[in-house]
């Protein structure tokens, strides 16, 4: 558990340190409805905004569901940061930091028709490959805005066929992109 929490905190710290600045951070809980979220994460409760890093221009929304939580991070927009870069930053939350080869086993899926660019990661725990736990990650960019949605563990989503689960993440991404303006 300490490794998992450390990985998530490391990813968020890297995200915070790469903050370039943006005058208007989108309200993260307004980017998805509870109904949209429940399609991927059944039993999700309404989200709550977390303002811990608001002074740095970063807002988060957290939705709790039966077996975990989903976190959406908004506001660290940078013209130089791409969805794949962001996905690699957050990937540290579910790969073994002591396995230098673990990252090469993570599959980054480009989702066509989602915002200007979107990347999804959906991996099952596989200690032999250095993947320490199940994880789902989505990064969506539209215009100058980019947000990240992450769930570790990803609840029932991980039990679906990979193509179906990626389709669900793409639908979430379309909803987010539509509201990013």
At residue 148, φ and ψ (nearest 5 deg) are -125, 135
Give the pLDDT of residue 80.
82
Q: ω into residue 98 within 30 of 0, thus cis?
A: no
For every residue of 103-128, DSSP letters joined together read GGG---EE-TTSSSEEEEEEE--BGG
Query: pLDDT for 101-149, tens place per residue?
Result: 999 999 999 999 999 999 999 999 999 999 999 999 999 999 989 999 9
Ordered structural domains, the chain, with CATH: 2-180 (3.40.1000)
Q: Which residues contact 112 (CB under 8 A, 6 or more apart)?
A: none
At residue 102, φ and ψ (nearest 5 deg) are -60, -40
Give the pLDDT of residue 139.
97
Give the pLDDT of residue 8.
43
* Bridge-based pairing state of the strands 117-123 and 109-110: antiparallel
Looking up tokens 């990813």 gives 11
Give the pLDDT of residue 96.
95
Give the pLDDT of residue 152.
78
Cα distances from 173 to residues 119, 132, 149, 164, in angstroms, run 9, 25, 9, 14
Give the pLDDT of residue 55.
86
Whether residue 106 contacts residue 131, with contact meaning beta carbons closer than 8 Å, is answered with: yes
Q: Which residue ranges in the chain fall short of pLDDT 70?
A: 1-25, 76
Give the pLDDT of residue 24.
64
Give the pLDDT of residue 54.
84
């Amino acid at each position: 558990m300490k490794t998992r929490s450390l990985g998530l905190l490391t990813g968020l710290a890297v995200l915070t340190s790469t903050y370039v600045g943006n005058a208007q951070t989108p309200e993260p809980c307004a980017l998805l409805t509870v109904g949209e979220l429940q399609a991927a994460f059944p039993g999700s409760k309404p989200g709550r905004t977390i303002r811990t890093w608001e002074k740095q221009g970063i807002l988060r929304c957290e939705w709790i569901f039966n077996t975990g939580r989903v976190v959406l991070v908004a506001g660290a927009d940078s013209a130089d940061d791409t969805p794949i870069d962001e996905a690699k930053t957050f990937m540290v939350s579910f790969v073994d930091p002591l396995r230098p080869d673990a990252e090469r086993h993570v599959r980054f899926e480009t989702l066509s028709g989602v915002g200007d660019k979107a990347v999804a990661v959906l991996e099952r725990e596989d200690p032999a490959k250095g993947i320490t736990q199940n994880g789902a990650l989505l990064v969506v960019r539209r215009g100058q805005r980019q947000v990240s949605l992450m769930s570790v563990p990803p609840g029932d989503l991980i039990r679906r066929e990979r193509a179906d689960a990626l389709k669900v993440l793409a639908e979430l991404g379309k909803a987010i992109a539509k509201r990013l303006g």
